[in-house]
Amino acid sequence: MDHDFIFEARQARVLFGAGRIEALAGEVDRLGAKRALILSTPQQRAQAENTVRRLGNTAIGIFDQAVMHVPIETARAARAEAKRLNADCCVAIGGGSTVGLAKAIALVTGLPIVAIPTTFAGSEMTPIWGLTEDGIKTTGRDARVLPKTVIYDPELTLTLPPAAVGTSGINAMAHSVEALYAENANPVASLMAEESLRALAVSLPKIIAQPEDLAARSEALYGAWLAGLVLGTVGVALHHKLCHTLGGSFAMPHAEIHTLILPHAAAYNAAAAPDAMARVARALGVQNAPAGLFDLAVSVGAEMALSEFGMTEADLDRAAEIALTNPYYNPRPIEKGAIRALLDDAYYGRRPDM
Ligand code: NAD
C-alpha cells in the first residue's frame, strides 16, 4: 500500500473504568482549579447535584440549561454565569449537548473543561465546537475547547434508556465509518476506527437485550471513546454533511438521524471507498457494510424511515439542494440526483442491498 498522510494528535487525559467518577475531585485539583461550574441538561440535574457533592467546596454552582445544538442564547447565559461566579473550570456531565455548552464557554474564556460523558456521542474527545444562531449551526475547530480531562465511567450510562443507547452508539460508529474514507484518513485513525466499530457492533445489541450489562456498556463506551478520538483527528464527509443539514435546517433529532442515514451514506460511497467498506464489514462480521449497518440499526430498535420524523417529500428536495452547497470532500462526487435518491431511500427506510 502506498502511504501518504499527516498525523496530528492533541489529546485529553483520559480515565476509564467503572467507578472512575470517584477520581473527579483529584482530577479537578490536578488542573489547579478551585472554582468549578457544573454543567448539565435539566434532565440530568440529579447527576449534576451528585457531582457537586463529590467536589465539595470546589463546586461553586450548577448551570443546568444545556440543550441540543448549543443555541447562542444558552451559550451567552452560561458564559455570564461562569463570569458571575468567577469560575476557573467547567465540569460537564452529560452527552454532546452538555459538553458542547462547556465548549461554548471555553471558546471565549479559555476555561479548562473536565468532561464526564454519559452518552456515546464522542464530543468530549474533539476540538470541534458548535453554536446555533437564527436556526443556523456554525461549527469550527479550536484547541481551547478540547477538554483537558475526560472521565469515562460506564456506570453513568446505566440510566441511558436502551433506545438512546442504540442511536447514540451508532452516532459514534458514523464517526469511525467516515474516518475510514476521510480525505485525511491515516493509519492510526483507521486502526482506532475499525476497533471502535467492532466494539460498538458487538456491545450495542447486548445492551438492548440486557440493559444492566455493565461489561457491554463498558465495551460500548470504549468504542465511543475511540470514535470520538477519530473524529477529533480526521475529517468527515457526506454522512456528517447530510446529518448536519437535516439537524440544522429541519430540526431532526441528532443521534436518530445519524443512525438512519449512515447505511445510505455508506452505500453511496461503497464503490468509491472499497478498502474502507472492507474494514467496516470486517469489524461488523458481515459481507456487506451498508446492509450490515442497516441490520445493526434495526437490531437495536432504531426507526429507519425519515418519513416517521415529520419530514415531507418536498423537504427532501430542499435538503438535497442544501447538501450540494459549500463543496466538501467526499470519496464519490456529490451528484444531485444521486443524493436525492439516497434521501428517498432514507425517507422510506429501504435496506441498502447492493
Ligand atoms: P444529548 O447530550 O442531547 O442528550 C440527549 C438526552 O439524553 C438529554 O436529555 C440528556 O440529558 C439525556 N442523557 C444523556 N445521558 C444520559 C444518561 N446517562 N442517563 C439519562 N439521560 C441521559 O445527546 P448526544 O447525542 O450525546 O449529543 C448530541 C449533541 O452533541 C448534538 O448537538 C451534536 O451536534 C453534538 N455532538 C458534537 C460533537 C463534537 O465533536 N462537537 C460530536 C458528537 C455530537
Tell me: do 194 and 309 sit in the same domain.
yes
Tell me: do 29 and 132 sit in the same domain.
yes
Tell me: do 53 and 175 sit in the same domain.
no
C-alpha cell of residue 239: 454522512
119 in contact with ligand 1, CB cutoff 6 A: yes
- Whether 8 maps to a domain, the answer reads no
Per-residue model confidence (pLDDT) at position 276: 98
Looking at the CA of residue 117, tell me the nearest atom of ligand 1.
15
Summarised one tens digit per residue, pLDDT across range 240-271 is: 999 988 988 888 999 999 999 999 999 999 99
Per-residue model confidence (pLDDT) at position 52: 98
- Number of domains comprising the chain: 2
Tell me: do 152 and 53 sit in the same domain.
yes
Higher pLDDT, 271 or 10: 271
Q: Which residues contact 248 (CB under 8 A, 6 or more apart)?
A: 69, 132, 135, 136, 137
Q: How far apart are CA 178 and CA 231, in angstroms?
A: 9
- Whether 2 maps to a domain, the answer reads no
Do 288 and 282 contact (CB within 8 A), yes or no? no
Rounding to the nearest 10 degrees, give the CA dihedral for residues 170, 176, 181, 182. 110
Look up residue 151 and give its DSSP letter.
Answer: E
- Whether 270 maps to a domain, the answer reads yes
- Whether 4 maps to a domain, the answer reads no
User: For a pocket test of ligand 1, which of 21, 38, 40, 43 has the largest count of ligand atoms closer than 8 A to its C-beta?
Assistant: 43
Please tell me the distance between residue 298's alpha carbon and the centre of ligand 1 in angstroms.
21
Closest C-alpha residue for ligand 1 atom 32: 69
74 in contact with ligand 1, CB cutoff 6 A: no
Q: How far apart are CA 313 and CA 347, in angstroms?
A: 8
Please tell me the distance between residue 98's alpha carbon and the centre of ligand 1 in angstroms.
7
203 in contact with ligand 1, CB cutoff 6 A: no
Per-residue model confidence (pLDDT) at position 354: 58
- Residue % of the chain over a pLDDT of 90: 88
* Final residue before a domain boundary, out of 110, 141, 157: 157
Please tell me the distance between residue 271's alpha carbon and the centre of ligand 1 in angstroms.
32
* Final residue before a domain boundary, out of 93, 126, 157: 157
Closest C-alpha residue for ligand 1 atom 39: 123
CATH number at residue 59: 3.40.50.1970
Note down the domain range covering 344: 162-348
Per-residue model confidence (pLDDT) at position 334: 94
Looking at the CA of residue 168, tell me the nearest atom of ligand 1.
25
Backbone φ and ψ of 253, nearest 5°: -65, 140
Do 231 and 124 contact (CB within 8 A), yes or no? no
Per-residue model confidence (pLDDT) at position 39: 99
130 in contact with ligand 1, CB cutoff 6 A: yes
Tell me: do 250 and 181 sit in the same domain.
yes
Summarised one tens digit per residue, pLDDT across range 284-314 is: 999 999 999 999 999 999 999 999 999 998 9
- Whether 75 maps to a domain, the answer reads yes
The H or E element spanning position 75 is helix 72-84
Strands (E), 86-187: 89-94, 113-117, 128-133, 136-141, 149-152
156 in contact with ligand 1, CB cutoff 6 A: yes
Tell me: do 37 and 94 sit in the same domain.
yes
- Whether 205 maps to a domain, the answer reads yes
Select from 163, 117, 332 the least CA-distant residue to 241.
332
Task: Tell me the mean pLDDT in the region 37-42.
Answer: 98
**Confidence band for 138, pLDDT divided at 50, 70 and 90:** confident
Summarised one tens digit per residue, pLDDT across range 221-239 is: 999 999 999 999 998 999 9
**Confidence band for 327, pLDDT divided at 50, 70 and 90:** confident
- Residue % of the chain over a pLDDT of 70: 99
126 in contact with ligand 1, CB cutoff 6 A: yes
Tell me: do 178 and 111 sit in the same domain.
no
DSSP 253-312: -HHHHHHHHHHHHHHHHGGG-HHHHHHHHHHHT-S-HHHHHHHHHHHTT----GGGGT--
Task: Tell me the mean pLDDT in the region 131-147.
Answer: 90
Summarised one tens digit per residue, pLDDT across range 98-108 is: 999 999 999 99
Q: How far apart are CA 132 and CA 75, in angstroms?
A: 9
**Confidence band for 53, pLDDT divided at 50, 70 and 90:** very high
Q: Which residues contact 13 (CB under 8 A, 6 or more apart)?
A: 27, 148, 149, 150
User: For a pocket test of ligand 1, which of 38, 40, 68, 105 has the largest count of ligand atoms closer than 8 A to its C-beta?
Assistant: 68
Per-residue model confidence (pLDDT) at position 226: 98
Tell me: do 315 and 166 sit in the same domain.
yes
Tell me: do 209 and 301 sit in the same domain.
yes
- Whether 274 maps to a domain, the answer reads yes
Mean of pLDDT over the chain: 95
186 in contact with ligand 1, CB cutoff 6 A: no
Tell me: do 198 and 80 sit in the same domain.
no
Look up residue 155 and give its DSSP letter.
Answer: G
pLDDT over 80 at 326, yes or no: no
Backbone φ and ψ of 66, nearest 5°: -65, 135
CATH number at residue 334: 1.20.1090.10
pLDDT over 80 at 8, yes or no: no
Tell me: do 182 and 267 sit in the same domain.
yes
Looking at the CA of residue 44, tell me the nearest atom of ligand 1.
11
pLDDT over 90 at 11, yes or no: no
Tell me: do 54 and 188 sit in the same domain.
no
- Cite the DSSP H helix spans in 126-253: 162-180, 187-209, 214-233, 238-250
- Whether 128 maps to a domain, the answer reads yes
* Final residue before a domain boundary, out of 132, 157, 182: 157
Do 103 and 111 contact (CB within 8 A), yes or no? no
Do 179 and 189 contact (CB within 8 A), yes or no? yes
User: For a pocket test of ligand 1, which of 44, 64, 245, 262 has the largest count of ligand atoms closer than 8 A to its C-beta?
Assistant: 44
Task: Tell me the mean pLDDT in the region 6-25.
Answer: 91
pLDDT over 90 at 170, yes or no: yes
